Amino acid sequence: MIAVDEAIAWAAFQIGCRTSKRPPLVDALIAAAAQGRGGCLVHRDGHLAAMPLDLVEQIQLPEPVSG
């Protein structure tokens, strides 16, 4: 668990401003927390995938195969 401080809130705002379609606040906060800790997002989330790669390191997982 990571506390949302002023630095993370500001980073989330900047990420939201630099993303083509503004992401939900919770996604921007998750990305900002990862960015602040030097982490990498591993996800299947379209909102996170839209964030610029130069801001947040990420690996987008493929959709699961049904059947």
pLDDT reported for residue 43: 95
Q: Give the 3-state DSSP-derived string for 2-50, with helices as H, strands as E and coil as C.
A: CCCCHHHHHHHHHHHHHCCCCCCHHHHHHHHHHHHCCCCEEECCHHHHC
Provide the pLDDT for residue 65: 82
pLDDT for the residue 1: 82
pLDDT at residue 67 greater than cutoff 90: no
Mean pLDDT within 38-67: 91
pLDDT of res. 63 = 86
Quote the radius of gyration of the chain (alpha carbons, Å).
12
pLDDT of residue 64: 85
Domain ranges of the chain: 6-60
- pLDDT tens across 3-36, in order? 899 999 999 999 999 999 999 999 999 999 999 9
